[in-house]
Chain A
Amino acid sequence: MAYSDKVVDHYNNPRNVGSLPKADPNVGTGLVGAPECGDVMKLQMKINPETQVIEEAKFKTFGCGSAIASSSLATEWVKGKTVEEALSIKNTDIVRELSLPPVKIHCSVLAEDAIKAAIGDWKKKHGIEVQVAEKASH
């Protein structure tokens, strides 16, 4: 299967690989796994509690090229956004940006779920009510 140029680019030069201190109260960690293939993705963000702006984002993904590209792109997108804005990112946006074929849609779902999980974790640390997580549309 041929990967799109954008996927290849993110795969070869993944942005924001690494991790943030999990115990930091301003860091939210999302750890998710894809039931389809068993790949796992960790996405972390450092969020300013006053402005709710995501100041930093890091990821580490053990998975296919599309999952790596999706999470790399997700970290790029969330940086500088507010929590609410980041929550509006849909996996379909990722699919479009990376031109993912249907079999790779679940890889983008993984990234959307990871964003939600990381923000959920951060909210929990700050005692903010987390709405029942809306499942990403496949």
Chain B
Amino acid sequence: MSTAPTSTNTPLVCWNCHERTVGTHFCSACGKLQQIPQSLDYFALFEMPKKLWIEMDGLEQKFLQLSWKLHPDNFVNATEMERELSLQRSSELNDAYRTLRDPVGRVEYLLGIEGERKEGEKKQQAPPELLEEVFELNESLDELREAKESGGDLTALRVSLEAARGNFQEKLVEVDGQLQSAARDWDAALTADSAARKKIMARLNELLNRRSYIRNLVTNVQKELL
């Protein structure tokens, strides 16, 4: 994915008729399928504003429409260039749909294109007020592993780990709620100045890190409890 923040309005030239094309997917002059413009992000691909609240039915309909239009089956008799393009664009469309459909993936993606989060970056932000609990959890996990090896009694350990897991799962729900409310803030600030938007993005980023940290913990506990 390109991160170059090119303007969405950059005039593009059709590879086929060399006219300037204004259509997102097809040339407005000759109707040929176009290359993926560098500036086209997933939101623009679905012709949606960069909002974090997305109406699912609308997204799905748009996806079905587009996938029908871009589908390689429509291009079996077309030129090699068009067949290639249709493949590329279909797979991009699928990625875009999968990303936007997922409320968390959507936030990650948005922060990525806004330059607020590097691709693939997954900082495991240990929330300072959780350190104590995290440490204890790790200790119990250790004890459980040792007890498993030595064939000791696991019942009490399991009970306390189950409780810890429940506790962290609750925190996960809490973070999800906070993420939702920050997402609403973002949507409300769509036309606000960049400082205000930056602040919301920083918050979203922090919440994402927190979420992935807690989720990791829960997964680790789950693995041990199996």
In A2-44, the 8 Å CB interface with B consists of: 31-38, 40, 42
Contact B216 A38 (CB under 8 A): yes
Contact B213 A31 (CB under 8 A): no
Contact B131 A40 (CB under 8 A): yes
Q: What 1/0 flags go to B114-128 for Cβ under 8 Å of A?
A: 000000000111101
Q: Which residues of A contact B128 (CB under 8 A)?
A: 33
Q: Which of A36, A60, A62 contacts B124 (CB 8 A)?
A: A36
Q: Which residues of B contact A60 (CB under 8 A)?
A: 135, 139
Question: Once A and B bind, how many residue pairs between them come within 8 Å at the CB atom?
Answer: 33
Residue B55, interface by CB 8 Å: no
What is the predominant secondary structure among interface residues of chain B facing chain A? Answer: helix
Measured CB to CB, the closest approach of chain B to A109, in angstroms, equals: 13
> With the chains together, A38 CA to B219 CA distance in Å?
14
Interface size of A by CB at 8 A reads 12
Contact A33 B134 (CB under 8 A): yes
In B20-71, the 8 Å CB interface with A consists of: none
Most buried by A among B126, B131, B142: B126
Q: Which residues of A contact B126 (CB under 8 A)?
A: 33-35, 38, 40
Contact B135 A38 (CB under 8 A): no
Knowing A38-B213, A38-B216, A62-B138, say if A31 contacts B132 (CB, 8 Å): yes
Q: Which residues of A contact B209 (CB under 8 A)?
A: 35
Q: Which residues of A contact B134 (CB under 8 A)?
A: 33, 40
Measured CB to CB, the closest approach of chain A to B157, in angstroms, equals: 16
Closest to A41 in B: B135
> With the chains together, A32 CA to B132 CA distance in Å?
9
Measured CB to CB, the closest approach of chain B to A133, in angstroms, equals: 13
Contact A40 B138 (CB under 8 A): yes
Q: Which residues of A contact B213 (CB under 8 A)?
A: 38
A-B contact pairs, 6 of them (CB 8 A): A33-B126, A36-B123, A37-B124, A38-B216, A40-B131, A42-B135
